[in-house]
Amino acid sequence: MKTKAALSFRCLFSLLAACLFLLAAPAFAGTEAAPAGAAREVLSVSWQPGYCAARPKSRGCQDFSPASPAAKRFSLHNRFQVRNSYCGVEAGLRQRARKGKWTELPEITLASGTRERLLAAMPAARAGLDRRQWLRSGSCVASSAEAYYRRSLDLLDQLNASPVPALFARKAGGVITLVEVRAAFDAAFGPGAGERVRLACRKAGDQPVVIGLTIGLAAGEGTLPALIGGAVPVKSRCTEGIAAVVGVR
């Protein structure tokens, strides 16, 4: 039969162990709930040859041709904060933006140089897409439309200066795979960069066509490689598709 002293010692030991576990638990819980490098922004870019092949009547595709500069580089679609939109935008204006009448939205103020860059990089800006994207997404990540688009265009330029657009151009009319795209990102922006990339695809007939990419970014300033490296890996529903040529339906 155990003595009272032995039972008291066991109780004291159990109590001490429980206290140590409770003290350590928040540290483990914090690691689980907030992994380092969580992606907080996404850069969404269009591959116009595929986008306009899959959506030929879309705004921004009317004047597009295989000979245009946009046929060999990515176009800006959006840069947004994950699970956040229309920050500080009043309800009436938010509703107008969602209806799709973009040219009826308030004009945005941009420096002449930024406006020229944006018109070249975002074909649908002529139809007012820039106004809608500023309200929906830019309002959450920048203090002004100028800061939002200047930064987005700088990131787009870094992407277009890499070998990734050349891969898409070489694959024109054929199949391009997620494995190939991720390998190109690893080579251009560092090991693991490709794991932060998704293919955006849309059915055209009975085949998926690659219409663009979404790229996970860490929030804040920095180069594109650094921002991609600060994001978390993602899964892509689309794993391959046609890198289309406009005019081939």
Query: What are the structure tokens assigned to 217, written together?
Result: 């970014």
Q: Is residue 65 part of a domain?
A: yes
Q: What is the pLDDT of residues 15-34, one digit of tens each?
A: 433 333 333 332 222 222 23
- Give the whole-angstrom CA distance, residue 213 versus residue 25: 39
Identify the CATH number of the domain in which residue 179 sits. Answer: 3.90.730.10
Q: Is residue 135 part of a domain?
A: no
- Burial of 20 per CB tally in 10 Å (0-12, 13-18, 19+): exposed
Q: Report the first-to-last Cα separation within the chain, whole angstroms.
A: 88
Residues 156 and 233 in one domain: yes
Phi and psi of 64, rounded to 5°?
-85, 140
Residues 237 and 174 in one domain: yes
Q: What is the pLDDT of residues 111-160, one digit of tens each?
A: 999 999 999 999 999 999 999 999 999 999 999 999 999 999 999 999 99
Q: What is the pLDDT of residues 60-94, one digit of tens each?
A: 888 888 888 888 999 999 999 998 999 999 999 99
- Give the whole-angstrom CA distance, residue 103 versus residue 148: 19
Domain encompassing residue 233: 41-83+146-242
Q: Is residue 172 part of a domain?
A: yes
Q: Is residue 218 part of a domain?
A: yes
Q: How far is CA 80 from CA 26, 34, 149, 249, in A?
A: 31, 20, 12, 31
